[in-house]
Each structure stands twice: as structure tokens, then as C-alpha cells.
Amino acid sequence: MDILAKIDVRLAALVVQFFASVAFNLMSSFLPLFISSEITHSLIEATYWTGIIALIGSVVTACTAPLWGYLCERVEIKKIMVIVLTGCGVVYSGMAFSTSVLQVMLFRGLQGTFGGLSTVMFVLIASVASAGELRKALSYQIAAMTLGSLIGPGLGGILAYLFGYRLTFMVSSLLFLCIAPLVVGLRLPPPRDRQIEAPKFRVSDLKVLMSDAVALVLVYACINFIIPVIPWFLESLGVPSEQLLTLTTIVTVLNGAAFAIATPVLTKIVTDRTLPLLSAAASTAILVTAFVTNPYQFLAIRIAIGSIQAGIPPNLLGGRSGRSGTAMGFLNSARFIGMAIGPFMATSILGNGEPPRSLYMFAAMTAISLSVSLFIYLTHTRKTSNPQL
């Protein structure tokens, strides 16, 4: 594939990733409110159920991510993407008609089964980017994913306000289905060429990837832990119920914007030796969050945390993963495990929301962020990357 084709594929991959991330995250700003108002639970109960739903979806996605990576090495990537997008569209339609928390959990679990799009996109980027360009290419892909995740909640909040929660789920479904035509136009290397280019994944390769995988689990647990708790936390700061959706959306969007903008920048300047410093700085900001007294302080800290954490994931994903689809799937699986652990741990520690449970919650996440810093220091400052995977 010539250079122009590579550029076309990478730009198209950014577009597909962005719109898929928007579709996936339309519900992010209102899921606890949907469960509270449409399924008749108190907000604290809805917050707890949201953590469980996030756990189920992310765990299922983590289990299937290596399989999607493996399939990408043997089946045309465009076919895999169409299957994933169609499955997500069908599942989000089911969420729109859910009348109980169990139904929401069921459909979110099914969505996790078809949640391999990010794995497919990472494999696609690895197939067209050189080993030296992989971190940079992945940083832009993660930035597009994050940009979609910040546009999605904002747009979802507006749509939910104008048309209701259930119709917003249907918009997500339609958006997934509308992405499929974009996929058809991608020019990709055939599976045979990719297999020749990429060495087979072996069980022994797990030893090389394990440190990156463990670090990714811990990092994404810190990044995602507060998501289902934001409405409750804003309420505890005195925000009126009629303003919760608006402020939750603003906080989510600006945190994501900071993350998206900082990701490519930090990926260029941060090395394995400075990665621990980012996580240590994030741990301080996380702990400070427990002591804010108004929503504006909370917003400022969330922006700071997003900016600090942005440089860590691309360096871990691109450091030793090389070109193997299975390896990319394995590392993406670690991302989703972290996404599952963080929100579930936060909502479990929060419990009924009585003091000092919120302090315990932030203290636990601070400890995890510090452990990330120590772990990366011990494993990444003394190892070199292995581009052969």
C-alpha cells in the first residue's frame, strides 16, 4: 500500500472512530437519570446500578476484544467492522425499549459482545503505521475516540432534554448503522498481506505485554471511576435537580476535551521514564476532588485530571504491541477491564452516599493512581519495546 493509501485509511479510521464514539456515548451523561426517572429508582440507587451496568458491559467487551483482534488477522477488517456496527445498532434499539434495570444490563452486556470496534480500529492502525509511528498514530485514534466521547454526552444531553431518553437511545442506534457506508469506502490491505507482515501471536508474547496490560487496567480504572458518580457528586455540592443533567454534561464534555487535546501533545513529549510522573500528578488531583466545595472547583479539577492522564494510554498501547491483531486485542481488553473496575469500585465504595464514603472513594482511586505510577516506574523505565509482536 502506498503512502497516499495509508493516509486515506488513517483519516477514514479517525472519522469512523469519532462517529462510533459519539454513538456509544450519547447515553453517558444521562444513564443514571434514565434509570431514576424512567425505571423509578432513587438517584443513589440508579448510580449504583449504573456502576454494575458499566461493569458488565466492560467485562464482556474485555473478554471478546482478543477474539476480534484474532479475527482481524484472518477476515477482512471491513466485514468485521460492519458486523460490530450492526450489532451495536440492534442492541441500542433494545435499550430504548427497556423497562427494567435487568433489561438494561442484558442489552449492555450484548453491546459488550459487539464492542470490539476500538480493537478493530487499533488493529487497522497497526497494519498501516510503521513501528516508529505507532504511538503517534494511536494517540490520534484515542484523541478521536475521546473527542467523540465528549461530543456524545453533550449531544445526548441536548437530545434527551428535547426528545426524551428513549428516543436518544434510538438516535445512537441509527448513528451506528449510518457509519457502515463509511466503512465500505476504506482501502485496506487484504488479510493475507497482513498475516505476512505480522508475526503470529504466541503465548510467550504475553510475558512482554503483561506489564502494559496491568498498567492499562489501573490507568483506565482511574480515568473512568467517577463517570457514574458525577450526578450524585454534583447533587452533594448543592446543584438543584433540574440542573444536574446540564452540569453533568458540561463536566463530562470539558474533561473529555482536555483529554483529547492533550493526548497527541503529551504522546510526543512523554517517555517511559516520565510516564510515572503523570500518574503521580493525577493521583494528587483525584484526592483534591474529595475536598471541593462547589461545582466550579469540581469542573476545574476534572479538566486538570483529563489533561494529565491523556499521555499515558497511547504510550502503553503502542509501546510493545507491534502489529499483531491478537496483541492489540489483548491490550484493548485490559482497557475495558479497567473501565469495568473503576466505576463499579466507585459506586460500591460510595454505597448510600453518607459521609465519609465519598472520601473513601476518592482515596481508593488516589491509591490506585499512585500504584500505577510505581508500577510503570518499575516495569517501563528498565525495559525496551519489542516491535516483533
Cell numbers linked to 134: 505507532
135, pLDDT greater than 70: yes
CA atoms in the 13 A half-sphere facing the CB of 202 = 7
Cell numbers linked to 203: 503465548
> Per residue in 5-43, pLDDT tens?
444 677 888 888 899 989 988 887 788 888 888 887 788
**Secondary element (H or E) of residue 98:** none
User: Who contacts 132 (Cβ-Cβ below 8 Å, separation ≥6)?
Assistant: none
> Per residue in 153-180, pLDDT tens?
778 888 888 888 899 999 999 999 888 8
> Per residue in 297-350, pLDDT tens?
999 999 999 999 888 888 787 665 455 677 778 888 888 888 878 888 888 888
Question: What sign for the dihedral angle of Cα 262, 137, 333, 381?
Answer: negative
Instruction: Give the distance from CA 314 to its chain's centroid.
Output: 12
- Alpha helix (H) residue ranges in 114-229: 117-128, 134-163, 165-184, 191-197, 205-224
Say whether 65 sits in a helix, a strand or coil: helix
Give the whole-angstrom CA distance, residue 116 versus residue 122.
10
> Per residue in 247-281, pLDDT tens?
887 888 788 888 888 988 888 888 778 888 888 99
Share above pLDDT 90 across residues of the chain, in percent, rounded to a whole number = 16
- Ordered domains of the chain (ranges, CATH): 3-380 (1.20.1250.20)
Most confident of 178-182, 193-197, 371-375: 371-375
57, pLDDT greater than 80: yes
Size of the chain, expressed as the number of residues it contains: 389
Give the whole-angstrom CA distance, residue 334 versus residue 115.
14
Give the whole-angstrom CA distance, residue 326 versus residue 353.
41
At 286, the amino acid letter reads: I
Cell numbers linked to 279: 500518574
> Per residue in 203-254, pLDDT tens?
666 777 888 888 889 988 888 888 888 888 999 999 998 898 788 878 887 8
